[in-house]
Amino acid sequence: MASTAPPPSSSSSTIVPSIAPTTTSTPSTSDPYTYPPIYAFPPFFTLQPNPTTRSSQLHSWSTHIQAYARAHRLFTISLVDALPTPLFTNPIIGRSLSLRDARAVLSWMASPEGGNRAEWINPTKKLGKDAEEGGGGGKAWIYWRRPEEWAAMLEEWVERTGQKGTVLTLYEITESDATRREEFWGMDGELLNRSLGICVKRGKAQVFGSEGSEGVKFF
């Protein structure tokens, strides 16, 4: 079960309550994710205009989104599809982050200030006014591990399991029973290729074969 540390503290009582909410913050007992206490605090679901308060909120939302994605093995999210889910909506308190605020959170996560923990997919696509007003959305990578971090993890796994010099298929890396307990099991194919590309640039691997039947050898 993945969990997240309590969100960054804030001096503003409008964002972080001084006493933990008594309302349960877990929408479902079957959910593998442990929701942070601030998830049960209604003002959390409205981005505040005060710069200090807003910064605290953005950090808290980033921590929440990364931990949620990790627990649910999500590598990308579509905002219009994710908004009604427990990622952005707490049905117990009847609060939901708006599309505009959700886009602001992901844009912040995609910035250096946000640690580049997200990346818009097809960022040049015109979404129009509807997207800003709540009638549209976007899709983004959620980097609970960035590609370079996945590359390091793949290299560590190969070293740990003694598979240097062995030809591995991409299916074996992300779909086989041998990797079921690894965090990269079930990884999106495009993200895997990007991560392997970093291994190649480091001189740690070689990728060969045609699309759909690629293999990789680590050195």
The answer to the question of residue 27 being in a domain is no
- What angle, rounded to 10 degrees, do the helices at 99-109 and 51-71 form? 80
- pLDDT value of residue 29: 65
Q: Do 41 and 137 share a domain, yes or no?
A: yes
Q: Do 152 and 206 share a domain, yes or no?
A: yes
- In Å, what is the CA distance from 63 to each residue of 49, 102, 138, 149? 20, 14, 20, 17
Q: Is the pLDDT of residue 193 over 70?
A: yes
**194-219 tens-digit pLDDT:** 999 999 999 999 998 877 678 999 99
The answer to the question of residue 190 being in a domain is yes
The answer to the question of residue 107 being in a domain is yes
Q: Which two tokens stand for residue 200?
A: 């190649």
Coil, strand, or helix at residue 208? Answer: strand
The answer to the question of residue 74 being in a domain is yes
Looking up residue 193, the CATH number of its domain turns out to be 1.10.10.10
Q: Do 83 and 167 share a domain, yes or no?
A: no
The answer to the question of residue 196 being in a domain is yes
Q: Do 152 and 135 share a domain, yes or no?
A: no
More confident position, 178 or 118: 118
- pLDDT value of residue 213: 76
Q: Do 157 and 124 share a domain, yes or no?
A: no
Q: Is the pLDDT of residue 10 over 90?
A: no
**150-177 tens-digit pLDDT:** 999 999 999 999 999 999 999 899 999 9
Phi and psi dihedrals of 78, rounded to 5?
-105, 120
Q: Do 121 and 60 share a domain, yes or no?
A: yes
The closest alpha carbon to 154, from 116, 144, 145, belongs to: 145
**104-131 tens-digit pLDDT:** 999 999 999 999 999 999 876 555 444 4
Looking up residue 124, the CATH number of its domain turns out to be 1.10.10.570
